[in-house]
With several copies, the nearest count.
Chain A
Amino acid sequence: MKNLRVVLPGLSMKNPVMPASGCFGFGQEYGRFYDLNELGAITVKAVTTDERPGNPTPRVAEVDGGMLNAIGLQNPGLDHVTKHELPWLEKFDIPVIVNVAGNVMEDYIHVSKQLSSIKNVSAIELNISCPNVKVGGIQFGSDPEIAAELTRKVKAVSNVPVYVKLSPNVSDIVGMAKAVEQAGADGLSMINTLVGMKIDIKTGRPVIANKTGGLSGPAIKPVAIRMIHDVSQVVKIPIIGMGGIHCADDILEFLMAGASAVAIGTANFVDPFACPNLIKELSQRMDELGIEDINSIVGRSWRSCENVTSSWH
């Protein structure tokens, strides 16, 4: 009996595939294309205390093998999300992960506390890595002590497991991962976008109004795989892997690197049916490759064969 089911702290998923935060709104848009119940879980757009207008446009630019975005965490704020967005998701029987962002620690703590007591919120994903906000964000993501402190404080108030979403724009990703694990994180999300820029040679100015933007898509996959490979060997908490997944073999690669589940970002823009298609493809590829239990390949790239099946990895 083939098994695609994956169980992580707070998340009981029928398959290891979920959309990545910020690439799927609060679910309604893609809900018009397919039944969201097909997903392993859903991760919604970053939520902040108050409504955020985001950055000026242009906010996106295409680059070779990927795209840059500087949305700037635009979102309707905690109140609106609580009253309008999350209730809409109640009709689905899938875990909901809420991505939380802020300028100062108190923002994160406040939002996490509120959201974690809503009944259909299964987990919090702390976005300490958004490269597109000027205050907060990036600082939390590059200093292990601050990241650990934030994790500890959010854990203290949260009623649901807390995943910390790491930034790849650091010298020492392993150090970051260990710091937040020790501070009590229940899991990691890796990776957020790389900071990049594109200049329009006709105007001589950056294409994106915010100048820099976050690089996502296939271009960053090798960086994601390397970081997950390195981190998964030293932490005991599970990793939700992301960064450039566009086909089922990419998912297998992330799992073999050491991720326990995966999130799909940019690929949704290329194909609105990306998530359900990948889930189907993944199941087929498991048959072709003789993989019975999707959990059995987690970390295979560095594990000796005997040890492959274990609790998270």
Chain B
Amino acid sequence: MIVEDLLITEQKQIADNIFMMKLTGNSVSHMDSPGQFIHLKVADGIDPLLRRPISICDVDAGSQELKIIYRTEGKGTKQLSEKKVSDTVNVLGPLGEGFPTDHMERGETALLVGGGVGVPPLYYLAKKLAAKGIDLQIILGFRSEKDVFLEEEFKKLGQVTVTTEDGSRGLKGYVTDGMAQLDVPYQTYYTCGPTPMLRAVQLSAKSEGYVSLEERMGCGVGACLACVCDVAEDHIGEGKKYRKACSDGPVFIAGEVII
């Protein structure tokens, strides 16, 4: 875990309120686990004060280049979107535990389900899985056509279904409607998106899986207990009754924590 000023090498709007940024620096070489995140200090000084968690979307180990995709929500992400190539951003990371892939074997199928800005971390995951020879069923949910991103990139890695709530692109409905249409079995699913979506995916899924949570964070490193979630009864055993999304997660085995 390092804190480093990363250099912005690209900044581009790729959908409605959605930006893609590339950053480079030494710490990028440690970012090899999909599902991990970085904690960004968007401005010097106090406005805003706290760091912002953003998932690692892709890493080019050779050029030490990190890609993130983010939606402008409030002050922090808005300021981030105003940064320019050759500005720097102070980055703490990589943080957290990512998506486990070791258990997947060549020829097996993985289901990836992402919603909105939950989609980006699945891209790096998809690349890792595809490189291992895993077949990918990918379902990406957005509100509307203007919100869609990464569709083409995912298509190079597996079978992609896009769903939109208004039907303006792909299947009309939610990611679970996409899941209902799936006709191939899968050994593991991986999902990231808003909490209601995660709940729905967990209910619909037909295998074991991994969910990536979004919690409000303070420290991002496990010290402040801002981001805890309760462990499900049947997962507690002797251990702690809670998990920290920032350091024990953000990825958990589906069912481990109550969402």
**Is A127 in the interface zone, CB < 8 Å from B?**
no
The binding surface of chain B is classed by DSSP as loop
A268 to B3, CA, bound (A): 12
Q: Out of B41, B217, B230, B247, name the residue touching A270 (CB < 8 Å).
A: B41
Query: For window 199-254 of chain B, which residues contact chain A by CB distance below 8 Å?
Result: 215-230, 240-242, 247
A61 to B1, CA, bound (A): 24
Contact yes or no, A25 B223, CB < 8 A:
yes
Give the residues in chain A near B49, CB-CB below 8 Å. 62, 65-67, 217-218, 266, 270
Give the residues in chain B near A32, CB-CB below 8 Å. 1, 221
**Is A71 in the interface zone, CB < 8 Å from B?**
yes
A50 to B48, CA, bound (A): 37
Sorting the interface of chain A by its residue count into under 10, 10 to 19, 20 to 34 or 35 or more gives: 35 or more
Within the complex, the shortest CB–CB distance from B253 to chain A, in Å, comes to 20
Contact yes or no, B226 A69, CB < 8 A:
yes
Interface string of A56-70 (1 = CB under 8 A from B): 011111101111010
Contact yes or no, A218 B46, CB < 8 A:
yes
Contact yes or no, B47 A64, CB < 8 A:
yes
Query: For window 3-45 of chain A, which residues contact chain B by CB distance below 8 Å?
Result: 22-25, 29-30, 32-33, 45
Contact yes or no, B220 A64, CB < 8 A:
no
**Is B127 in the interface zone, CB < 8 Å from A?**
no
Contact yes or no, B218 A57, CB < 8 A:
no
A269 to B225, CA, bound (A): 12
Sorting the interface of chain B by its residue count into under 10, 10 to 19, 20 to 34 or 35 or more gives: 20 to 34
A204 to B145, CA, bound (A): 30
**Is B104 in the interface zone, CB < 8 Å from A?**
no
Contact yes or no, A65 B223, CB < 8 A:
no
Contact yes or no, A30 B226, CB < 8 A:
no
Contact yes or no, A272 B221, CB < 8 A:
yes
**Is B92 in the interface zone, CB < 8 Å from A?**
yes
Chain A, Cβ-Cβ closest to B230: A53
Q: Out of A61, A74, A268, name the residue touching B225 (CB < 8 Å).
A: A74
A64 to B241, CA, bound (A): 33
Contact yes or no, A76 B215, CB < 8 A:
no
Within the complex, the shortest CB–CB distance from B41 to chain A, in Å, comes to 7
Contact yes or no, A74 B223, CB < 8 A:
no
Give the residues in chain A near B242, CB-CB below 8 Å. 53-54, 74
**Is B50 in the interface zone, CB < 8 Å from A?**
yes
Give the residues in chain A near B1, CB-CB below 8 Å. 32-33, 272
Contact yes or no, B218 A60, CB < 8 A:
yes
Give the residues in chain A near B216, CB-CB below 8 Å. 57-61
**Is B22 in the interface zone, CB < 8 Å from A?**
no
Chain A, Cβ-Cβ closest to B240: A76
**Is A88 in the interface zone, CB < 8 Å from B?**
no
Contact yes or no, B227 A57, CB < 8 A:
yes
Contact yes or no, A69 B224, CB < 8 A:
yes
Query: For window 262-306 of chain A, which residues contact chain B by CB distance below 8 Å?
Result: 266, 268-273
A sample of 22 inter-chain contacts (CB < 8 A) reads A23-B223, A25-B223, A29-B219, A29-B221, A29-B247, A33-B221, A45-B225, A53-B230, A54-B242, A58-B215, A62-B49, A64-B46, A65-B46, A69-B224, A71-B224, A71-B225, A74-B228, A217-B46, A218-B49, A269-B219, A270-B51, A272-B1
A interface list, Cβ under 8 A from B: 22-25, 29-30, 32-33, 45, 51, 53-54, 57-62, 64-67, 69, 71, 74, 76, 217-218, 246, 266, 268-273
B interface list, Cβ under 8 A from A: 1, 3, 41, 46-51, 92, 215-230, 240-242, 247
